[in-house]
Structure 1
Amino acid sequence: MAGKTGSKHDIINGYVSFVNFLGAFLGENCEVVLHDTNNKEKSVLAIANDHISGRRIGAPLTDLALKFVINKVYEKQDWVMGYTTQSRDGRVLHSATYFIKDGNGELVGMICMNMDTSDILAARDIMNRFISSAGFEKTQKKELFATSDPVAETDDSEPVEHFETFPHSMEDLTDSLISKVVEDTKILPERMTSDEKLAVVATLNDHGVFMLKGTIRVVAKHLAVSEATLYRYLQKINVK
C-alpha cells in the first residue's frame, strides 16, 4: 500500500476504514492507530480498541513515533516491528509501525499497532511454574521458552524495548519528554547552571520537542527560565 498517489490528505484518509478493519480482525487486545505525521500535535485520525492506551482522535504523536520522524527511519524501511513497549499502567505491549508514504517516498502517516500481551505472559508464567514443579530439565525448559521477552529474537536484529508514552494531548507529550530528560540529569532545574540547562535544551531538540507547536512556553516553565532565555539557548544550539 506504500507509494499511493494523490494529495497527502486523500492518501492518509484512505486508511481510516483499514484501521477499523484491522481492529475488528485482530480483536480487542490490539490497538490500531492511524497517525497523520503532518499534524504532529493532533495526529491521531482513527483508532480502534482505544482502551489499550486510552487515547482518542486528536491525540498527538507518541515520543517513539516522533523519533521515527526525526531519524527518517521510513527512508530505509517500510515498517518497524519486533519491539516491545510498556503502557502507563505497566502492561507489556507487542508493537509495530507501518509507514505510509506518497508516490515520492515522503512520509504521510503511520499505522501503529499495540498488542496487549498480558494474557500471553500470564499463561507463560503458569507454564513455567508447571515445568519447574514437574522436574523438567533446564535444557528442555530453555528450548520451550528461549526468551523472557514476548518478542522473539530474529537473525538480523535484537528485540527493542522502549517505554513509550501514549499522550492524550500535546501538553501531555511535552511534559513527559521534558520529565524524562530532566530526570536523567538528576539535578533539579532550579539548581542547574546555564550550561546544564543548555544541555537539556539540546537533548530536547534532538528528541524533536521543538517540532511541536506551543512547546517553548512549556519547556521554559519546566526549566524555570524566561521564554527569551530559551530562545537564546536555541540560537546557540543552531549555531553549533
Structure 2
Amino acid sequence: MPTLLPATDARFQSVEDLHRVLEPVMRAIAAAVGPHCEVVLHDLSSRDLDHSIYAIVNGHVSGRSVGGPSTNLGFEVLRDESADHDAFGYRGRTVDGRELVSSSVYYRDPAGRILAALCINVDLTPMQSALNAIAALSPAPQAEAEEPKEVVGPDITRVLDDMISEAIASIGKPTPDMGKSDRIEVLRLLESRGAFHIKRAADRVSARLGVSRVTVYGYLDEVRRG
C-alpha cells in the first residue's frame, strides 16, 4: 500500500469535526478579501462529487450553494489519493467565462484517505476592470493569459460539457472530420481530467462525438489499457 502524503498534518474523524475548526476561518478569509472571494468546504468522504459542497461563503461568485458540485479538479484528485494535491494561486474560470485565481487544501482522515477540501476562489473581474481602464489610458503589451486549470460551475453537467468542449477544441478539427485516433485522444484528455467519474459522462461524450455509447466505452478501454 502506498504511503499517503498528508495535505496537512492535522487529521479529522469527520467533515463535521473539520467544519467546526474551519468555519470561522472561512468567514474570516471571505471578510478580509471581499465579496468577490468564495470560500468552499467540499465533503469528499462519500465520493459523491455531484453534491460535495458542505459549506460555502459568497457562493454568488460561482453560483453554487450547499449541496452543489465539485469541479474537474475534485475528480482528478480522487484518481490518485496518494499524492499531495495542495495547490496555491492557480488559474480557473467560471462556466460563464470569468477568470479566477484559486487555492485548494486537502484534509485527510486518520487512515490517510482524503476527507475534504478547502477551496478559495477569487473572481478577478473587479481587478481586470480596473486594469482595463488603466490600459485604455496607457496602452502596454498584454501578458499571455495562463490556461485555466479548473472550471467552476453550479451544475456538474455544465462543467462536464465545458471539459468536453475543451478536449474537442484541442484536436483542432470539427467532430465530423475526426478519425478514430482523434476521438481516442479526446477520451484520453477527458480521462486524464477525471471526466468519466461524472454520471452519464459517456452519454454526453457519445452525443458530442457523434458515435455510439458502446464505441465510447471501447475507446475508453483502449485509453485505460494504453
Band of TM-score, shorter chain: 0.7 to 0.9
Q: Shift of the alpha carbon at 1:29?
A: 2.2
Q: Does 1:17 align with 2:34?
A: no
Unaligned runs of 5+ in 1: 134-146, 150-159
Residue identity in the other structure for 1:100: Y
Match of 1:231 in 2: 217
Q: Shift of the alpha carbon at 1:193?
A: 1.9
Residues 189 and 29 (structure 1), Cα distance of their counterparts in 2 relative to 1, 3 Å cut: same
Residues 12 and 187 (structure 1), Cα distance of their counterparts in 2 relative to 1, 3 Å cut: farther
Q: Does 1:54 align with 2:60?
A: no
Contact persistence 1:15–1:34 (CA under 8 A)? no
Which residue, out of 17, 32, 37, partners 1:30? 37
Q: Shift of the alpha carbon at 1:208?
A: 0.8
Structure 1 distance, partners of 2:184, 2:151, is 25
Structure 2 distance, partners of 1:193, 1:40, is 32
Which residue, out of 70, 76, 89, partners 1:67? 76
SS of 1:108's partner is strand
SS of 2:112's partner is coil
Structure 2 distance, partners of 1:39, 1:203, is 22
Contact persistence 2:176–2:210 (CA under 8 A)? yes
Residue identity in the other structure for 2:84: K
Contact persistence 1:52–1:116 (CA under 8 A)? yes
Q: Shift of the alpha carbon at 1:209?
A: 0.9
Contact persistence 2:29–2:39 (CA under 8 A)? yes
Output aligned runs, 1:180-199, within 5 Å: 180-199=166-185
Q: Percent of counterpart pairs with the same letter? A: 26
RMSD value over aligned CA atoms? 3.2
Match of 1:216 in 2: 202
Residue identity in the other structure for 1:208: G
Q: Does 1:44 align with 2:44?
A: no
Q: Shift of the alpha carbon at 1:128?
A: 7.4
Structure 2 distance, partners of 1:15, 1:223, is 46
Residues 230 and 88 (structure 1), Cα distance of their counterparts in 2 relative to 1, 3 Å cut: closer
Match of 1:76 in 2: 84
Residues 89 and 173 (structure 1), Cα distance of their counterparts in 2 relative to 1, 3 Å cut: closer
Contact persistence 2:76–2:193 (CA under 8 A)? yes
SS of 2:150's partner is coil
Match of 2:119 in 1: 112
SS of 2:73's partner is helix
Residues 17 and 68 (structure 1), Cα distance of their counterparts in 2 relative to 1, 3 Å cut: same
SS of 1:196's partner is helix
Q: Shift of the alpha carbon at 1:49?
A: 0.8
Contact persistence 1:87–1:166 (CA under 8 A)? yes
Deviations 1:139-160 (A, max 9, x none): xxxxxxxx969xxxxxxxxxx6
Match of 2:192 in 1: 206
Output aligned runs, 1:47-196, within 5 Å: 47-70=56-79, 72=81, 75-76=83-84, 79-123=86-130, 162=148, 164-196=150-182
Unaligned runs of 5+ in 2: 1-7
Residue identity in the other structure for 2:102: S
Residue identity in the other structure for 1:106: R
Q: Shift of the alpha carbon at 1:39?
A: 1.7
Residues 96 and 226 (structure 1), Cα distance of their counterparts in 2 relative to 1, 3 Å cut: same
State the structure with more CA Rg: 1
TM-score, structure 1 as length reference: 0.72
